[in-house]
Amino acid sequence: MQNALTRSPRRWQAALVGAVFAVAVVGAGLLGWWYAAVSTPVSGPIVLVSIDGLNPSRFASGGRASETSAIHALADDAVVFERAYTHSPLTLPSHASILAGQLPFEHGVRDEAGFALRADADSLAELLRNRGFETGAAVSSFLLRPVTGVAQGFTFFDAELPDDPGTSPPVVERDGARTTDAATQWMRSRSGERFFLFVQVNGNSAESTVAQLVSTLRELGLYEQATIILTSGHGDTGRGEALDDAALRVPLLVKQPDGAGAGIRIGLPVQHIDILPTLLDLVRAPVPSGLRGRSLRAALGGDESSIADRPIYAESLAGRFRFGGPGKFALANDAYRYVRSGDDEVVEADGEQITTPLPDGANTAQLREELDRLLDGQPVVQPTEIAAADEDHYATLGYLGGALIADAESAPIEPSEEAFLAETHRAAARLVGQKSYSLAIDLLRAIARAHPQIAVPQYQLGMLLSRAGRLDEAVGALRTAASAEPDDPYIPAALARVLMKAQRYDEAGDRVRLAVALAELHDARARCTAFEVAARVALALDDRAGAEAYAEAIEREDPGLPMAHFIRGRLRHADGMYEEALVEFQEAATVLAQHGRALEELHWYLGDTLRRLDRYPEAEAHFRGELQAFPRSISAYASLATLYHASNRASSVEEALDALIDTAPTPEGYDAAARLWMIVGDPARAAALRADARTRFNGDPSLALFQP
């Protein structure tokens, strides 16, 4: 049961806490300077291993060594920190904290989608590379791809997932054996011992990964001089909502050269951001100023008193960005953890929520006020939208799009309701990843009915209904979302897209004008979104001047989005001026490539233009390029099928239409494939598809597509 704490200002206590922190920082710095002066710097290999979900209880005294022999053997050679904590229960933010030595609000990664480690962060790999270490990494999780920024400073970073075209659900994590093989191969290719290797796998691979890494180090004659750090990105849950001991407590083992400190166990709390300054201290590298973590070097020699009792911060914004719930923030000391979720406050001790009366009110008040101080002036930046090519991957991980409309001040949700909402939403997202759209729609409807005041699930429901071809229902859901968030420009912009898809162009024009007006009161990203939809609506309404004006407005806001070239290309394409259109489209593609961006339909128009110019191989490449960036593009599949048919490539036609059905298993996708089978002269296949659709989607309103 949660217990509300009375908010009473205790400014002098906050000042006292701050003063204690300052003294601790100075004392730790002096102790670290003395320790560095009298000990030998680490020069051998440094191996940092993160195993998601690895339970720290495995390393408790009397643990079952027979089940984890390699891990326990490593623990026997290491210093074991029995109370180590992460700063986030989510994979990407927690690893960003490990590698950057910063808290989430400092390095900028607040959730697992739409965020990347700030380019100006001094990553551990960069800092060690500056000290002459070769740097390599191998990771298993889709969430740790180089695009997330965690590859900063690594000269070798292996994150390649198995090729999975059309796989449902898509592959979001590779087998730990492949990751460990990549890591050990890189180790073997080193000519010396001065290297830093980072390896991340899931809990299922814990034993085999540790065994193989240790075996390889022994084979290379490097184990004795190696420094090995074993930890985990998060605790047992990894779901992102809880900030309790089970979610935040992680293992932390530090095996030093020549077994120094082996068998030492440290019982005081430590944290992920302590890893970076500790490793830099071990190699005698300067520690960047402003870091909140402290070196644990002295503790590695058994001096537990060197660890200052510093509050440990954690956060999770998963609820806010995924379904419009509240964000959660926590601060813990040696005795208590204070957790805030919206207006709700909880205090925990020994992993249990405290019942009234609250013990040590002054202590918990200090945590509350120190949390206020930490978060003061730290706004939560909205994430970027999920790329179309990644939507199914994130859905498989429990994440749907729509974070841009998440309100900073979410409506209050009862804790029991929030847990149910989170679990239901995660189940809906995973069904989307499996392309079970009807079942996912039912779950999102249940959430929307139970929480009509939250716009995010309504928005997600509308977008999923649109994907399934249920356009009238999609319009209704988005209108409901707009009622919940009437000042948000992204909702009317999305509604205008759905109305265009339904060929209700005048209504789309009304919605997009509202989106543009609202976007003027927001940031450049909102304005670009509204202007892009407005330009496309203007084209549909044959308002050429309006389309060009909106495109030019976009480029004033964001020169990396070449909408003016795209719109001019569309106009010349419509007029049959294909050579001129090609120049505009190619220029747009060049600008996008320079900025690592994608623009819906650009590659399709490039392909269609090249097809009309009889440049078929190039056309095919661009149709495939459209599918790579926008996998559910029915028009790209249709164009590929007709291109193959024209060149008598019957097997390729079948492959393209089968892929269309696999990618868009909706009445709309089946209808498109059936029409294409008719066009290529196979009415029997068309009839079979229509019959299959009527059975598969029995009762689905979008089956009206199949009416003659």
Burial class (CB in 10 A: 0-12, 13-18, 19+), 510: middle
What local confidence, expressed as pLDDT, does residue 266 receive?
94
Give which of 407, 293, 267, 298 is closest to 39, Cα–Cα: 298
DSSP state of 164: -
Q: Specify whether the CB–CB gap between 42 and 282 falls below 8 A.
A: yes
Residue 347 and residue 339: Cα distance in Å, rounded?
6
CB atoms within 10 A of CB 363: 16
- Pair 154, 137: CB distance under 8 Å: yes
Query: By the 8 A CB rule, do 539 and 547 touch?
Result: yes
Quickly list H helices, 39-143: 69-76, 91-100, 104-107, 124-129
Q: How much is the pLDDT for 239?
A: 62
* Residue 487, CA atoms < 13 Å, CB-side half-sphere: 5
pLDDT of residue 79: 97
The amino acid present at 507, given as its one-letter code, is E
Which of the pair, 179 or 21, is modelled with greater confidence? Answer: 179
Cβ atoms within 10 Å of 263's Cβ, excluding its own: 12
User: pLDDT over 90 for what percent of the chain?
Assistant: 74
Query: Phi first, then psi: what are they for 570, rounded to 5°?
Result: -60, -45
Tell me the pLDDT of the chain averaged across its residues.
Answer: 89
Tell me the Cα Rg of the chain.
28
Q: How far apart are CA 132 and CA 501, in angstroms?
A: 57
Q: What is the mean pLDDT of residues 142-156?
A: 97
**Residue 68 pLDDT:** 65
> What does residue 288 show for φ and ψ, rounded to 5 degrees?
-55, 145
DSSP character string of 311-365 = -EEEEE-HHHHHHS---EEEEE-SS-EEEEETTEEEEEETTEEPPSSPS-HHHHH
User: Which residue from 155, 144, 53 is spatially nearest to 99, judged by alpha carbons?
Assistant: 144
User: How far is Cα 691 from Cα 704, in angstroms, rounded to an integer?
Assistant: 13
Name the band, by pLDDT with cuts 50, 70 and 90, for residue 410.
Answer: low
484-543 residue pLDDT tens:
999 999 999 999 999 999 999 999 999 999 999 999 999 999 999 999 999 999 999 999
pLDDT of residue 585: 98
Query: How high is the pLDDT of residue 26?
Result: 46
Residue 176 neighbours by CB under 8 Å, 6+ apart: 140, 201, 202, 204, 205, 208, 209
**Looking only at Cα atoms, what is the longest distance across the chain?**
86
Report pLDDT for 8.
38
Q: Are 528 and 558 in contact (CB under 8 A)?
A: yes
**CA–CA separation, 127 vs 510, rounded Å?**
54
Residue 175 has pLDDT above 90, yes or no: yes
pLDDT digits (tens, 9 = 90+) for 253-270: 999 999 999 999 999 999
The answer, yes or no, to whether residue 242 has pLDDT greater than 90, is no
Mean pLDDT of 236-250: 81
SS3 156: strand
Percent helix, strand and coil across the chain, each to the nearest 5: 55, 10, 35
> Above 80 in pLDDT, residue 700?
no
Query: What residues contact residue 703 under an 8 Å CB cut-off, 6+ apart?
Result: 667, 693, 694, 697
Tokens of 596: 């690592």
The stretch 572-579 carries a mean pLDDT of 98
How far apart (Å, rounded) are the C-alpha atoms in residues 99 and 132? 18
Torsion region of 360: left, alpha or beta (phi above 0 gives left; psi -120 to 50 gives alpha): left
Distance CA 631, CA 369 (A): 48
Residue 515 tokens, joined: 């989106």
Residue 610 or residue 54, greater confidence: 610
Closest C-alpha among 58, 45, 444 to residue 218: 45
Residue 701 pLDDT > 90, yes or no?
A: no
Q: 253 versus 702: which is more confidently predicted?
A: 253
Handedness of CA 242, 243, 244, 246 (dihedral sign): positive
Outline where 353-397 has alpha helix (H): 361-375, 391-396
Structure-token match 């100023």, residue found: 289
Residue 341's pLDDT band (cuts 50, 70, 90): confident
**Mean local confidence (pLDDT), 444-451:** 93
Check: CB of residue 489 under 8 Å from CB of residue 481. no
Other CB atoms within a 10 A radius of the CB of residue 375 amount to 16
Q: What is the mean pLDDT of residues 200-218?
A: 96
pLDDT bracket for residue 56 (50, 70, 90)? confident
Structure-token pair, residue 200: 């991340």
Quick one: pLDDT band at residue 456, thresholds 50, 70, 90?
Answer: very high
Say what the pTM is.
Answer: 0.89
Four-residue CA torsion sign, 320, 428, 479, 550: positive
Q: Is the peptide bond before 665 cis (omega within 30 degrees of 0)?
A: no
Distance CA 669, CA 660 (A): 7
- Please count the residues of the chain: 708
Q: Report cis status (omega within 30 of 0) of the bond before 357.
A: yes
pLDDT tens digits for range 273-313: 999 999 999 999 999 999 999 999 999 998 888 888 889 99
Lowest mean pLDDT among 88-97, 165-174, 362-371, 595-604: 165-174
pLDDT above 90 (res 58): no
